[in-house]
Structure 1
Amino acid sequence: MQPCGHVIPEANHCPTYPTSRYRDEAVMSSDVSLVCTERYGSGSVLKYRKCDDGTVRYDRPHPSSSYRHLRDCFMSLFLPHGFPDSVSEDYLEYQLWDTLQAFSSSVTGSLATHALLRGSGVGDSSASVTAATVTWILRDGTGMVGRILFAWMKGSRLDCDAKRWRLFADVLNDVAIFMEILAPVFPSCFTATVCTAGIFKCIVGVAGGATRAALTVHQARRDNMADVCAKDGSQETLVNLAGLLVSLVLVPMVSDSVWATYLLFLVFTILHLYANYRAVHSVVMETLNQSRLAIVLEHFLLEGGILSPAKANPKEPLLPGLGSQVSVDVGVPLSAVVSSVSELELLKKGNESLYLLGWRRDTGRLAVVLHERAASTDVIRSVVHAEILHRKTSYSDPFRFYILAETHGKVSRMFPDFCSGLRTSGWVTDRNLLDSDDWRANWDINKGL
């Protein structure tokens, strides 16, 4: 099949329904010889024409310029296959800011490496190789212990607040780098400082890696997680290489001046933190965690409408301690909230849902016991109920069980419209990030007996 040699203009990006676009182009075309149009991903349109001899030929785009050739090469190397249709809409903005923060972190990391080597005795003829080796072994060992403990304590929370933990990891990384830069200034505390910084960096590795995986799940829209991860690794490698080249110029310039080192660290740390904040702030998650659910519910109760993910995500608090969501434990064992049959009956009063909402006996926090048949929407409903109950009562309220029974009716009336509005507005309800534990109960086994 030989090309006719015609030049076609640059095409727009693929719409949501490309098949319809192709059909409309063929129908609307005034060229009767046009039999089909085709495109690869978001590239230019090829037009197939019927020639006089009955063969089908296609119009080939003008031989690509060096700019287009380099652009296409760059995209194939560093962007997921099928970009931008194969990733979420927030992918490009997030990656641009993530690239900037990685570059800044690479430069400050080089400053920290220089300080650590100097503090370990590199260049000092009186320094002991054994002492330096012991310091590095202790640093790595304490970091490994910190990694295990942090994963045990906070591993289940990383998915639920991926954006917040990602920002936390980067802040902690800057703290660790600052400690490494300061370590040579206090020789007597050098080993302790380096070990503490090592623990922080290992925590950063756990939190950063886990949240990166959670964000990849969000960004990959064609079951292409491996491709998105691989291209993210390529981008990070390229940025780190650029950071190393810049560091080769900057580090020797400031190595003899402590204050110049601190100033350079301060500039790139500010840039690093700002880029990180913009990166996580640009992410638009469609799954509900407690913060996003509280924001959407508050707007629904006040305005009667449902905020879309694009409007609710920018309102999500990214710093610890911020936000007005209720403290609730979901998926707790029945024994955590019930100690007698009478208490169980009080929790079941007026309740026809697949959860029991009550208060923990040990901490007084609101807690949810889930039925063994509970689905994701039941978990969402239980947290919505907890938010509403939290506004009306407290653990010390003597009428709290009476108020709890009243709120069952209110939730039963409003939740169907609320849940339908969530789906219509683009929220995912068949899965959630509400940090539900795995305890399940069955309190209606005697029904019908």
Structure 2
Amino acid sequence: MSAGSALVSSGPPVASERYGSGSGGGEVWIYRLEEAQLRRQREETAGAGAGAGLLQLFKSVFLPQGFPESVSADYIQYQLWDTAQAFCSSLSGTLATQASLRGVGVGNQEATVAAATATWLLRDGTGMLGRILFAWRKGTKLDSEAKKWRLFADVLNDVAMFMEILAPFFPAFFLLIVCSAGVFKSIVGVAGGATRAALTVHQARRDNMADISAKDGSQETLVNLAGLLVSLLLISLVTENPTLTLLLFSLFTVLHLVSNFKAVRSVVMETFNEARLDVVWQTFVRSGEILTPRDANAKEPVFNWFSGAVPIRLGVKLQELVHSPEELERVTRARQDKRFLIAVDNSCVYVCLLLGASVRDEFESMCQALSLRKLLTQRKKDKHRHWDLVEESKSLLERHFDSFMKSLDETRWETSRNLLDWDEWRIRLKSKSN
């Protein structure tokens, strides 16, 4: 069999093959029988030529194999905005690095290598401690609230770079400022890397997380290379010109934050976290309609770092739920045949899961907790007893939950798993019903 392409195609086609999808501009080849040989010839299509070949090469280098079918529908929009923010961040980082180097004494004949090295080591050391502490305290939140923490990481990164630019103007506090900035950047590394992994899970539609992650790295490297070339031009402009440095940094920061906001807003996740489930559940209770993933993601808050809403704690220890035999008897009687227990006080809603609870039980308990939180918020100034609110939220659940889950099963929402922030405690009640 010859792998070459014939100039004259006289034999009948016996097979054809395509590399990639038709919508993605995949290559199409025809196999023909000619002079007792099987020959392979590329099918001529509109737009074929050197330009199409270069485009295909670019896609194979920087986009996941099987694009666009192998990724989520929001992949391109997210990556374009992510590319824009990475470029702005690269330029801002150049300005911050130049300021840090000037602060540790580069260009100053009176500065010593030992002092500069000590400053750098202290900055790195405090950053390592910050990385460990942040992963310990917030690691479980990064899956369930990937968008919020992705945006948080980029805002904190801009704050850290701004501190590095200002540090040389405060020589007495230079070490404190750069060490604080190092802690912030270490947090950025944890939050940014972890949330990027969570978004990669969402984007991978063929279990191709590694390929998507690798191509994302190639895209980031290309962007950083472009940023490096532009930075070489900027350095000559901003050297010994702090006013221009601050002006350019402000411009790049604004573009960086806008691009990041657009990037996280473009992500349409089909799995439920607390915010998305709250939006969809409250809408269904109010109107009987199920929001699509796109509509719910558009309404999901990403700036609710300090919202002041009553927190919901999931999968807690039993002692956080009840504090006396009377409360235990009441909460177990209220559960009926449910595989969860729920209670509330003025500051928090608590949910305990029983051993053997299913994903559906997790959804059911969370929907009641969301209703309970709304009732508590609405009637906080009234002197309603908490158990009355629990009973009212249970009535709402009984009226709407079954039809809610049935409606979800008919949409694109993922109900076989969720991204709710469950702790690991599970209890067994010593009763005949359990």
Do both share a fold (TM > 0.5)? yes
Residue 308 of structure 1, CA deviation: 1.1
Q: Where do 1:13-412 residues align within 5 Å?
A: 37-42=16-21, 43-44=25-26, 46=28, 60-62=42-44, 64-321=48-305, 327-351=311-335, 352-359=337-344, 364-393=347-376, 397=383, 399-412=385-398
2: CA distance, partners of 1:112 / 1:45: 46
1:341 CA drift (Å): 3.0
CA spacing shift, 1:429–1:188, aligned 2, 3 Å: same
C-alpha change, 1:50 and 1:239, in structure 2 (3 Å) is: closer
Distance 1:51 1:76, change over 3 A: closer
CA apart distance, 1:44: 3.9
Superposition TM-score, scaled by structure 1 size: 0.87
The superposition leaves residues 110-163 of structure 1 with CA deviations (integer Å, 9 ceiling, x where unpaired) of 111111111111111111211111111110111111111111111111111100
Task: Tell me if the contact between 2:311 and 2:347 (Cα under 8 Å) persists in the aligned partners.
Answer: no
CA distance in 1, matches of 2:115, 2:310: 51
CA contact (8 A) 1:216 1:229 kept: yes
Q: Which amino acid aligns with 1:274?
A: V
Which amino acid in structure 1 is aligned with residue 432 of structure 2? N
Aligned residues between the structures: 421
- Superposition CA RMSD, Å: 2.5
1:439 aligns with 2:422: no
Task: Summarize the Cα distance change of 1:310–1:444 in structure 2 as closer, same or farther, 3 Å threshold.
Answer: farther
Partners of 2:353 and 2:31 in 1: CA distance:
62
Correspondence 1:417 to 2:403? yes
Aligned CA distance change for structure 1 residues 116 and 399 (closer, same or farther; 3 Å): closer
Q: Quick one: distance in 2 between partners of 1:419 and 1:398?
A: 30
CA drift at 1:391: 3.1
Amino acid in the other structure paired with 1:341: P
Q: 1:399 is matched by which residue type in structure 2? A: R
Structure 1, gaps ≥5 residues long: 8-32
Cα distance in 1 for residues equivalent to 2:8 and 2:148:
53
Report the counterpart of residue 13 of structure 1 in structure 2. Answer: none
- 1:275/1:50 CA distance change after superposition, 3 Å: same
Please say if residues 112 and 180 of structure 1, whose CA atoms lie closer than 8 Å, have aligned partners that are also in contact.
Answer: yes
- 1:392 and 1:318 mapped to 2: Cα distance? 23
Instruction: Give the direction of change, closer, same or farther, for the CA distance of 1:256–1:47 in structure 2 (3 Å limit).
Output: closer
User: Could you tell which deviates more after superposition, 279-288 or 41-50?
Assistant: 41-50
Is contact 1:294–1:324 with CA below 8 Å preserved after alignment? no
SS of residue paired to 2:163: helix
Identity of aligned residues (%): 50
Distance of 1:347 and 1:37 partners within structure 2: 67
Report the TM-score when normalising by structure 2. 0.90
The unaligned stretches of length 5 or more in structure 2 are none
Question: Shift in Å at residue 421 of structure 1?
Answer: 1.6
Report the CA distance between 1:74 and its aligned residue.
1.0
